[in-house]
Structure 1
Amino acid sequence: MKKAGIFAIAAITAIAAWWVAAAPAPHHSPTVALTIDGEAERAALAVDRSADFDSGLEVLEATVPGYDDVVFLDQGQRWLLSAMDGRIWSYDPVARKAEPFVDPPLMAAGLHESPTEHDTVYFCASRLWGRTYPEGERVGLYRLSVSTRKIEPLVLDVPDTVIDGQRAWGLADAGAPQSVRGVASGKQRPLAFCNDLEVSADGKRIYFSEPFAYAGASMGGGAVPEAVAFRGNGRIWMHEVVTGQTRLVAQGMHFPDGLLVDLHPSQDQEQAILTSLTTGFQIARVHVSGPKAGRIELVQNGLAGMCDGMDRDAAGRIWCAMYAQRSPLMTWLHGKPWAKEVLLRLPLNLMPQPKTTGVLVLSPDAAEPLYSAWYTGAKLVHNASALPGPDGYVYMAPFSSKQRGIVRIKNPLRDP
């Protein structure tokens, strides 16, 4: 056999061996094609105010590193920020001084004050990709007593449920997998990723998201393969504060992240929650009780970027932090699962990430875009939260360990 033939056979054999060895794990095997029609993007473009956002964005000097979320305490006189150095920082907006407040397990995210116990702040704790942590620190839902700085875990383990990764479904109360004060009704597992949370208006229920659950689950770069695969590995859980019960609300979702209780003026308590499906460029309504319990409805599909954290202002409008703009490559890939089979065999963390970030404001029912803005520059990188403050500003959360300072813009929708 000629040398050229031997070389060709060797090359084919090497490629075949690589193809098999580098195959994505089953939880990343792409199966669903997502077609993005552009309607949501066009609707947001009609209310685009990027130029005003760019000119109005400012960074207040502070030593706090990049952070994921902010909670305003004592009518805005003191803030807590979940920083990427793993600590929760406090910030005095009058003195404009930031300092470490408490060192929680792993990295805190999704800070939320209890609406009924104002000395209590709930938060998620998860691993940040590329970081190492002391042995024994656990992913979980935690409670912080602000006055004593005491931290206690609320949920560390959850029922072990099976996901097929191809369809999402919600669960009504009856028959939903649950655990009570850490004792599961069946097999349980450690919580793998606690990303964001929301507290009911009466302070009795905490909803929290688990975007995916497998070895290596982490914030940041650890989510890149999940974003490419677009496989429904996510779950949403609900924790009863009084009873200690934790039950499954929905699973099979595409990276559920930010959470909001749906407005319910004619109901005693919420019957639905909203969640951002970040890597699917969607927002969904999950019915958790009432006649529609168990149903999931898309209210935004094909957003122009990744909606991360979601917060409401005093008028009920929804502020979505757009972590990154949807790239033409990702738009194309989501419609071509076969192409993902190739890409998922490559070192995805070396992929260039879009640097454009921004904000999208929606009507209280999440149906109508009211304001949108995109920004590319050093003042704001990877916006993780957009939080209307008590002082007429909206505060952004730059999820970048290289950034320092408090990022804000005057609220463009503030009522006179």
Structure 2
Amino acid sequence: MSMQPRRWTPPKATPRARETRSVPPLPPVRRLELPGTGPEDVVVAADGRVLTGLENGAILAVDPESGTVEQIAHTGGRPLGLHAEPDGSVLICDFGGGLLRLDKPGGQLEVLVSEVEGKPLNFPSNVVADTDGTIYFSESTRNWPLQQYMGDMLEHSGTGRLMRRDPDGGVEILIDGLDFGNGIVLAPDRSCVLVAETGGYSIRRHWLTGPKSGTTDYFAENLAAFPDNMGLGSDGLVWVAMVAPRNPLLDMLLPLPGILRQLVWAIPEALQPKPARTVWITAYGFDGRLVHDLQHEGTDYAMVTGVAEHNGTLYLGSLSETAVAVVQVP
């Protein structure tokens, strides 16, 4: 599809963006092999199993001890972000289907949101829910399909959104103009909701209560990598999947005339810049303090797009791998 590049001058990358491992490094991962590719997001269900969705449309429940895999649903599309409810139901951001709800493992799928303001939901990305039935979900881009997500990274379209679905079904746009809206975390005290802005190397914060209610600011910015899905850990921290380090070529092209990015997009995909292979996870307190910065080279796993922490164990998902990765927080 045609590209209309938007010029943007990114903040200067920190030295951390050029490093390939942290101190201490992330320990080696254990792989839980799956019958398919692309477990893009991971969440821990109430029964302790790890839920993920594959590129073939399957929703799987994986026993982290035995590795036993059960298919609990099939969306017919491409499941991305997930949210596990205490009652066993699952919210699903499905590329091709919209925002879905699975009532129970093996149960019925219901479409909750398929369009916003009269237009189809293009790229639903991540989702969380409050106990009162309020749902927060993101849309990465209104311009590009999943298969061409790099097109939005180059275009820098600024068409991502954070939205809220009320229990009565009404949808409100909380933040518009995100540079690839992605992972979401709701603060335990409901004071704010966080959304990853992958193309902006940042995490935005939208205030829900208090004197700043209804306003948006930055929770973390000028990150050393592209933040993807996020999750609230059992430790109360905001865990962030860092899919790849910042790309120096992209940083160089973004402020320049858009024709240069159009030329890059026009060359064969095999020759276009590729995300560097790495396994990188960070975690923040709600005061914005960086608590964990864990990385190692992408030899045993790579392209980490999802993370869930539960009782000191990290479960990782990936857009390109055929397994969920398991690693202990050092």
Q: How far apart, CA to CA, are the structure 2 residues paired with 1:142 and 1:345?
A: 32
Residue matched to 1:189 = 119
Is the strand fraction higher in 1 or 2? 2
1:101 aligns with 2:72: yes
1:134 alignment partner in structure 2: none
Aligned length: 328
Question: Are 1:327 and 2:247 counterparts?
Answer: yes
The match for 2:32 among 60, 80, 86 is 60
Instruction: Spell out, residue by residue over 1:181-220, the C-alpha distance to the aligned partner (whole angstroms, 9 max, x if none).
Output: xxxxxxx1111111111112x2421111111113xx322x
Q: Which of 22, 30, 33 is equivalent to 1:48?
A: 22
How far apart, CA to CA, are the structure 2 residues paired with 1:101 and 1:119? 11
TM-score by length of structure 2 reads 0.89
| Contact 1:235/1:252, CA 8 A, preserved across alignment | yes
Deviation per CA, 1:65-91, whole angstroms, max 9, x where unpaired? 330122322441x33211122211122
Per the TM alignment, residue 150 of structure 1 is displaced from its structure 2 partner at its CA by: 0.8
Q: Is 1:30 paired with 2:6?
A: yes
d(CA) in 2 for partners of 1:62, 1:158: 34
Tell me the residue number matched to 1:122. Answer: 91
- Residue 213 (str. 1) matches residue 142 (str. 2): yes
Provide, for residues 259-286 of structure 1, a one-character-per-residue CA deviation record: whole Å limited to 9, x for no partner.
111343xxxxx24211110022111112
| Aligned mates of 2:318, 2:208 — CA distance in 1 | 32
Change (3 A) 1:372 1:44: farther
State yes or no: 1:411 paired with 2:329: yes
Aligned to 2:84: 113
Q: CA deviation at 1:337?
A: 4.2
Residue 333 to residue 368, structure 1, CA distance change in 2 (3 Å): farther
Shift of 1:339: 6.2
CA distance in 1, matches of 2:255, 2:188: 34
Q: Say whether the 8 Å CA contact 1:319–1:359 is kept in structure 2.
A: no
Pairwise CA distance, 1:365: 2.0
Pair 1:346-2:266 in alignment:
yes
Q: Which amino acid aligns with 1:193?
A: F
Deviation digits for residues 204-237 of structure 1, max 9, x if unmatched? Answer: 21111111113xx322x41111101223111111
More helix per residue: 1 or 2?
1
Q: Does 1:84 align with 2:29?
A: no
Q: In the aligned structure 2, how far is the partner of 1:363 from the partner of 1:150?
A: 36
Distance 2:314 2:305 in 1: 13
Tell me whether 1:336 sits opposite 2:265 in the alignment: no
Q: Residue 105 and residue 321 in structure 1: after superposition, are their counterparts in 2 closer, same or farther (change >3 A)?
A: same
Structure index of larger Rg = 1
In structure 1, distance between residues paired with 2:107 and 2:23: 41
Q: Which amino acid aligns with 1:198?
A: V
Once the two structures are superposed, what CA deviation does each residue of 1:8-66 show, in whole Å capped at 9, x if it has no partner? xxxxxxxxxxxxxx9x54xx3323x2232345x65997x9236x32x522223443533
Cα-to-partner distance string for 1:139-170 (whole Å, 9 max, x where unaligned): 311110124521111111111xxxxxxxxxxx
Deviations 1:257-313 (A, max 9, x none): 00111343xxxxx24211110022111112245532342212322211111011122
Distance in 2 separating the partners of 1:119 and 1:60: 22
Is residue 2:193 matched to residue 1:273? yes
Partners of 1:110 and 1:411 lie apart in 2 by 23
Q: Is the 8 A contact 1:228 1:340 kept in 2?
A: no
**1:328: Cα distance to partner?**
1.5
Secondary structure in 2 matching 1:68? coil
User: What CA distance in whole angstroms lies between the structure 1 residues aligned with 2:293 and 2:319?
Assistant: 19
8 Å CA contact retained: 1:355, 1:376: no
Alpha-carbon distance between aligned partners in 2 of 1:218 and 1:345, rounded to the nearest angstrom? 15
Distance 1:140 1:288 in 2: 25
Equivalent runs, 1:108-257 vs 2, <5 Å: 108-115=79-86, 118-126=87-95, 138-159=96-117, 188-200=118-130, 202-214=131-143, 217-219=144-146, 221-241=147-167, 243-257=168-182
Distance 2:76 2:35 in 1: 21
How many percent of aligned residue pairs carry the same amino acid? 23
Cα distance, 1:381–1:203 mapped onto 2, change above 3 Å: farther
Task: Rate the CA distance shift 1:59–1:91 in 2: closer, same or farther, 3 A.
Answer: same
Residue 293 (structure 2) aligns with: 372
Match of 2:185 in 1: 260
CA RMSD between the two structures: 2.6
